[in-house]
Amino acid sequence: MPRHISSILNIQKGAEKWTVLAQVVHRGHSQLTREVPPRRIMRFLLTDTEGTKVSVVTYEQHIKTFSKFLQPYQRYYVSNAIVVPADPTYRVGTYECSWILNYKTLIENYAEPVPPMLPCIFELTNFSDLHKYADSDNLCNIRGFVIHAFPIKQLDPDSISRDIIIVNEEKKLMLMTLWNEFEHDEGSKIADMISTAPLIIALRVKVTTFNTLSFTTRYSSGILISPPLPDELSLRQWFSLNKEEIRNLLDAKTYNDASYLLPPPNEEDIKAISNFQASFPVQKAAWVQGTVKLAYGFSKYWTTACANCHKIVNADIDWIIHCPSCKQQTEVELRARIPIIITDASSSIHCIISGEDAGKLIEFTPLQLKQAQEDGFQIDTELNDALKKYTVVCFLKSYETPFQGQLQRKNTVIKAYTAAELSDRPLPLELPENTQVFSELGSSSARHAETSSKDQLFTPSTKLVLEEIAGASSYKDSQTSATSGAKRSLEFPEDLPADTDPKQPTKAAEEFAKEPAKSYGPPANIKDSPAKKPKAKED
Ligand SMILES: [Zn+2]
């Protein structure tokens, strides 16, 4: 009597004497489990003609037996595996069991010249929704064409990685880091066939805020290379039609560009700050919105960083370094790094805003910030005055770092938009009561200056020092990229805010004058000082 061929859904716990015609969707690596002591394990994902998926494992000495079979996308008769409840991590779709292959399990080749298209459906995430998964344990499945493979990076003797660039039908380019066995198996294979732009499906990859937003493989991830899909042909056609545009996006490195990776969010994607803080154990990144002010108590508002990946490095700006983070040989750049407090109706949060996003909010270039600090000139008031004008929508990331033996939570702005930048899509502002929001284009007439405070802050000598800083800034102006627009040279409004934080000691000009004179010369001689440079031209 011929054997009855069951479907996966018919195979429930305790089933005996059954056979399923199964197609290999994914074949995992030989890995060690995280048990103590660890066992060697290999995972497979199989499907049947109905498209039901089942997660399958085999252990230790059986790996060798079954890995001869179960090649990607081929079909086999699988009989009498052990049926157990599925591990939630690997559970796929509606089927509630998983199978274990042991020495009694029968696997037979199914003879056919070409296996059929994969009948199963993959629950894929749109790249525009990735921010919802960022820095969380919510892994996602994605699909796209690999259009670039970077060289392997040897991070330490036991760890290698390779970055690849993927584009999907949204024409969004994303970087994915393949670690260790994922580089060894899939990464090298993808790199070998990169000229054909292979289509991949990546299962259970993590979305991180590394490189603004990127994918990284995890222990449980799986990568399908060129899977036979029913819509393969139309996907290929789409790729061919858009090849040139995709090439341009690759050349423009949009996979590195925060404006592309994190465009302004929808209203419903913005979290209350209190919710953002509370969700730290499960998700460490999200969009928030609020008013901005300076977080006082810091004196340094700049940093040196890798010009490629923006990792902070302690190096000089004329150095060429081999970056420990991105492994590139790059220049060192000065970057603004401003501690701010963002406040909405629910809470306030301290965070660091840096680079171009910081530059949008303040009126100093990074070089001016550096020189102001080196010259002991207190600019807190001016910074706060500039920051207070803004309401921002920003993508925040939280992390913990050890400080004096304890973990301290820190927050970083990954991408920020000002209310004015989002003027075409007004956001519901749930801001604290009595908060006055200034658009950067709006008037500052609400502020009334007190002549006395102005005099305290700006003696003639400090004004001259500021002009010196402004003069030196022309160097940076010539280097500033076009993204944030031309930087103004230092201009101080005649109207100064009267609401300077009284708790903050202002290092006023008198104090500055007491310090040993630097290249600017003593205040009394400034008029005649030959060192005085012409004021930077206004642009
Ligand atoms: Zn770098």
Query: How many whole angstroms separate alpha carbon 361 and alpha carbon 239?
Result: 39
Return the H-helix or E-strand segment holding 156: strand 140-156
- pLDDT at residue 429, rounded to an integer: 56
CA of 179 to the centre of ligand 1 (A): 18
Alpha helices in 81-204 (DSSP H): 181-182, 188-192
Distance 331 CA to ligand 1 centre (A): 9
Distance (angstroms) between ligand 1 centre and the Cα of 144 equals: 26
Residue 329 CA, ligand 1 centroid: distance in Å? 8
pLDDT at 51: 95
Mean pLDDT by 10 residues, the chain (539 residues): 89 91 95 91 95 94 87 96 89 88 92 94 95 95 97 88 96 96 96 97 96 94 96 95 97 94 94 96 96 91 91 90 86 95 96 94 92 90 94 96 91 94 68 48 35 38 49 41 33 31 36 35 35 36
Joined together, the tokens standing for residue 81 give 């595996």
Measured in Å, residue 210 CA sits from the centre of ligand 1 at 11
In DSSP notation, 465-502 reads: HHHHHHHHHHHHHHHS-GGG-PPPPP---SS--S---T
> How high is the pLDDT of residue 327?
79
pLDDT at 162: 96
- Beta strand ranges found along 419-461 (DSSP E): none
- Ligand 1 centroid from CA 325, angstroms: 5
Q: How many Å apart are CA 228 and CA 115, to the nearest integer?
A: 9
Q: In this structure, which long-range contacts are made by residues 416-420, counting pairs with CB atoms below 8 Å and at least 24 apart in sequence?
A: 416/353, 416/357, 416/360, 416/361, 416/392, 417/264, 417/392, 417/393, 418/360, 418/361, 418/390, 418/391, 418/392, 419/390, 419/391, 419/392, 419/393
Cα separation, 104 vs 59, in Å, equals 13
Ligand 1 midpoint to CA 211 (Å)? 10
Torsion of CA 306, 400, 152, 38, to 10 degrees: 170
